[in-house]
Amino acid sequence: MIDNILSMLIWIPIISGLLILFYNNKDSYLNIINISINLFVFILSIFLLLSFNKNISDFQFIENFNWIPSLNIFYYLGVDAISVLLIVLNTLIFFIVSLYNSTLNLTKRSYYYASFLVANGLTIGVFSAIDAILFYIFFEALLIPMFLIIGIWGGSNRIYATVKFFIYTFLGSILLLISFIYINYKISSFNILTIYDANFSLKEQELLFIAMAIAFAIKIPMFPFHTWLPDAHVEAPTSGSVILAAILLKVGAYGFIRYVIPVVPLGALSFDIYFIILSIIAIVYVGIIAITQDDMKKLIAYSSISHMGFVTLGFFIIFQLFESTLSHEDIIISLSGSMYQILSHGFISAALFICVGSIYDRYKTKKISDLGGLINQMPIYSWFFVFFALANCGLPGTSSFVGELIIIISSFKANFLYAFFASTTLIVSAFYSLWLVKRVIYGEINIEGEYIDANSLEKVILALLAFIVLILGIYPDYIMIFMNSTLENMTNNILTKL
Amino acid sequence: MWSPSEIKYQGILSFIIHGILSPASIALLIGYYISIKLYKEKTNFKFLKFFSFKKLILIIKSNYKFDELFLYISLIMKKSSLFFSNKMDIALIDGFIVNGIPKRINILSSYLRTISSGYLYHYAFLIVLSLVIIFAAILVRIL
């Protein structure tokens, strides 16, 4: 086992990102260096995955150091199964993005790469921090590279999109910081393990829940805090959109499962019905909005919000399951479904944004009405596009089917109406995804000029993502068994507090 | 309760006879006979005059009206999508709340800025007015 593997995973990309800032933009080795660092971090995360003992539910690979003793803040790192899976998703997506970035013609290339490397390290920090303030620092610092990526390399309306994105998420972060300060005031600790054992009164739990839930609901984003995401996606460069959809949204979901539900379960129980309704609105309402979007990125952004609605639905129906079935197993299955949906959406949304990015790089348009008949000129690219569009609908055999099916089954056990409304996504998502395919891939050729099919690197990237989506869809057991012990422990903690 | 695996046929012959004598097979044979008579030999069956198949034919020809239903649902979905996108997301959430609140604060602050006129008697008047309001509030609470 490598000592301090988590620190290495966090600091290698951050430090190399800062060093790359001073690198010559025109140097041909810059791409190789960037890809190598991301590949190394990915391999390190695979090593973490393989070394992780899935039968132990406690945090592993612990690193503890008294960072600011006067403020009771520790540099305390550790991972459980949930964190490990998210770290692997993170490093893989950043590696894929580094490959994709090497094909682009960019200004200030070294700054661009540096922003992504720093974001990579900070996200790993978010997923491995056990100290609440350390988590908050990584959580907040992640805004800086994202702000720069969208603000510098974004589209024409990038300033509006970045300011909106920053204000929205910053507003939520303030509430999160206040919650952590209050928790420390009550129990004199920022350590998440101590916080799990703490008993807050119902009133305290309700207030803490509202503050923390708003912070993470903005990040996911949940209805009605979702309007920053379509704007940010439309203006962000392709790689930025990939990171936003595949990684940044997952930070919000991770916050719910790590800091909200296990810390203040009584608060969550008091408000679960509202969050279930908001999740269902996100699934149905936002899915319907996606139908008439003319910008492909906006359509996929709305689709992401709709799919993330499943994640929050899976999180909050556990309280209804607890009241209706009293089954320990049902709660674990529901949480597993949400986690599966998080991973699945990470890969599918990344692939879809890369598909859109490839079109934009060639024809400088993301508008659906400008495109058409791509199957005639770009058959390989079209094959991948259709495959990921179908995976986005939840086609059986793909990863999204597993996650959505588990959550629909769980919600059926909680209440038939939840299951009914959640199931409508199968119709709505099929509607917007297939209509997108019909207009972009089939029909008459709208763009004149030379069509260039997917190049070798794009084929490798898309084939890799397609392979993962299929493997996760056909054999979900590995992930399920991997998470089981951690989720069982988490469920026990929640149930003892209820 | 029985299950299909429990059904045992005594040999291949009885299995075939059982299959041929099923209602579906008999219906198929009758249908085949009628269609040969109707379309090949142009036989005029008198009993068919009692039945009118026009509506049935129309429904079958129009794919059970499935295309119409699909187009109707599509239209509703598109209309709802446009309504939600324009009226809810753009107008209400973004227009009224997200961008609307800063806009109103801006209008209010622009108006309040005009109070800072630079004239001393304006400030003195505002101080006196504020004091009157505060004392009035206190008096109301006491009385």
R_g over Cα of chain A: 22
Q: Extract the tokens encoding B92.
A: 């209400």
List own/partner pairs for A372-377 with CB under 8 A and 24 or more apart.
A372/A439, A372/A440, A372/A442, A372/A443, A372/A444, A372/A445, A372/A446, A372/A447, A373/A441, A373/A442, A373/A443, A373/A444, A373/A445, A373/A446, A374/A440, A374/A441, A374/A451, A375/A441, A375/A442, A376/A445, A376/A451, A377/A445, A377/A451, A377/A453
Beta strands in A88-225 (DSSP E): none
Residues whose CB falls within 8 Å of the CB of residue A92, separated by 6 or more in sequence, listed in order: A42, A45
For B107, phi then psi, to 5°, come to -60, -45
Q: Extract the tokens encoding A20.
A: 């790359």
B84 closest CB neighbour out of A168, A289, A431: A289
Residues whose CB falls within 8 Å of the CB of residue B12, separated by 6 or more in sequence, listed in order: none
B67 and chain A in contact, CB less than 8 A: no
Specify the residue for token string 């579906």: B24
Nearest CA in chain B to A285: B84
Could you give the CA distance from residue A452 to residue A381 in angstroms, rounded to a whole number?
9
Q: What angle do CA A136, A137, A139 make, to 5 degrees?
A: 60
Confidence of residue B54 (pLDDT cuts 50, 70, 90): confident
Could you give the CA distance from residue B99 to residue A158 in angstroms, rounded to a whole number?
16
pLDDT above 80: residue A183: yes
CB contact under 8 A, A291 and B78: yes
CB contact under 8 A, A289 and B85: yes
Residue pair A497/A199 in contact by the 8 Å Cβ criterion: yes
Model pLDDT, residue A384: 94
Least confident of A106-115, A309-318, A447-456: A447-456
Residue pair A348/A469 in contact by the 8 Å Cβ criterion: yes
CB contact under 8 A, B85 and A292: yes
Model pLDDT, residue A276: 95
- What SS3 state is found at A77? strand
**Per-chain mean pLDDT for chain A:** 92
Could you give the CA distance from residue A60 to residue A482 in angstroms, rounded to a whole number?
14
pLDDT above 80: residue A271: yes
pLDDT above 70: residue A148: yes
Model pLDDT, residue A313: 95
**Could you give the percent of chain A with pLDDT greater than 70?**
99
Residue pair A151/A159 in contact by the 8 Å Cβ criterion: yes
CB contact under 8 A, A431 and B98: no
A35 and chain B in contact, CB less than 8 A: no
Confidence of residue B7 (pLDDT cuts 50, 70, 90): low
CB half-sphere exposure, A322, CA atoms < 13 A = 20
Nearest CA in chain B to A228: B94
Q: Count Cβ atoms below 10 Å from residue A24 Cβ, excluding itself.
A: 10
Average pLDDT over residues B17-41: 86
Average pLDDT over residues A350-369: 90
Amino acid (one-letter) located at A353: F
DSSP secondary structure string, A268-333? HHHHHHHHHHHHHHHHHHHHHHHHT-SBHHHHHHHHHHHHHHHHHHHHHHHHHHHHHT--HHHHHH
Average pLDDT over residues B66-84: 89
A291 closest CB neighbour out of B77, B89, B93: B77
**Nearest partner of A251 among A193, A179, A172, A331, judged by Cα:** A172
Could you give the CA distance from residue A47 to residue A84 in angstroms, rounded to a whole number?
10
Average pLDDT over residues B13-34: 84
CB contact under 8 A, B98 and A227: yes
pLDDT above 60: residue A2: yes
DSSP secondary structure string, A414-458? H-HHHHHHHHHHHHHHHHHHHHHHHHHTSS-----S------HHH
Nearest CA in chain B to A298: B85
Average pLDDT over residues A362-384: 88
**Nearest partner of A128 among A75, A174, A181, A179, judged by Cα:** A75
A166 and chain B in contact, CB less than 8 A: no
Residue pair A391/A348 in contact by the 8 Å Cβ criterion: yes
